[in-house]
Amino acid sequence: MAHTNRYPEFDEWYLPDELTPQKQELYGAWQEGETGFPLVDASMRQLKTMGWMNFRMRAMCATFLTINCGVSWHHGARHYMNYLVDGDLAIDNWQWQMQAGVTNPLSDTFRIYNPNKNIEDKDSDLRFIYHWIPELQGYSLPEILSLVYQGESHYPAPILNWSQTRKVNGKIVSDLRKRVRERLIAQGGDEYEGAAIAKTTVDKYWEVKDKQYQEYRCRQEKLDFEALKNF
């Protein structure tokens, strides 16, 4: 599982083969933190400097490479293992397949993280981005999202259209997932049972995470309310 797609249908899309010049260019920009998507680039620069990034950013950078850039998870997984101080082949490569949309095919949906939405949600004060991308210091969040810095900063323009690649490449992955799902349901047996157990496990995981997030939001709202009362 460290080097082979969990389901053979994905061999049509995700392969460890040498990249085409176009995909190699995308891959190189992703490796160096030069994609023009600030949260992706800040995370990738942190990885190269510290050998670490938090879990959500690992997932976001993985979906950006596999779904938006259309580069096989094999290449991204190898890059992570070259730099992560906590690298673990079994965990990391399995997570790469998960973020690439390969695993849990009985679920109708899979996640594709929006890097710009995540700036607003996770780094609205831009402290993380300013630290790792000094080229953007002095620009506000609205200015960064509207690309005001283009022509003024050395920071690169986006290397791709996120919405378009999400739609086009996302459909390819979604169609492959549908083929796997139909085969598993038709054949039944151990492989189907294993996929059903995986879906139940993932569903329970997200139930817990959603509950934790709602509790966190409630606590934050209470703190904000108390702060306003005392102001």
Give the integer Cα–Cα distance in Å for 112 and 123.
18
Quote the Cα angle for 5-10-16, to 5°. Answer: 60
**76-101 confidence digits (pLDDT tens):** 999 999 999 999 988 999 999 999 99
Give the integer Cα–Cα distance in Å for 73 and 79.
10
CB 176 within 8 A of CB 12: yes
The distance from CA 155 to its chain's CA centroid, rounded to whole angstroms, is 21
The distance from CA 49 to its chain's CA centroid, rounded to whole angstroms, is 20
Give the integer Cα–Cα distance in Å for 209 and 219.
15
**169-180 confidence digits (pLDDT tens):** 999 999 999 999
214 part of a folded domain: yes
Cα torsion 118, 116, 59, 44 to 10°: value is: -110
Domain enclosing residue 135, as ranges: 8-187
Q: What is the pTM of this model?
A: 0.89
Residues of the chain with pLDDT under 50: none
Shared domain for 125 and 211, answered yes or no, is no
Shared domain for 31 and 70, answered yes or no, is yes
Residue 124: the pLDDT is: 93
Query: Which of 16, 76, 3 is closest to 44 using CA atoms?
Result: 76
Shared domain for 218 and 150, answered yes or no, is no
210 part of a folded domain: yes
Shared domain for 145 and 195, answered yes or no, is no
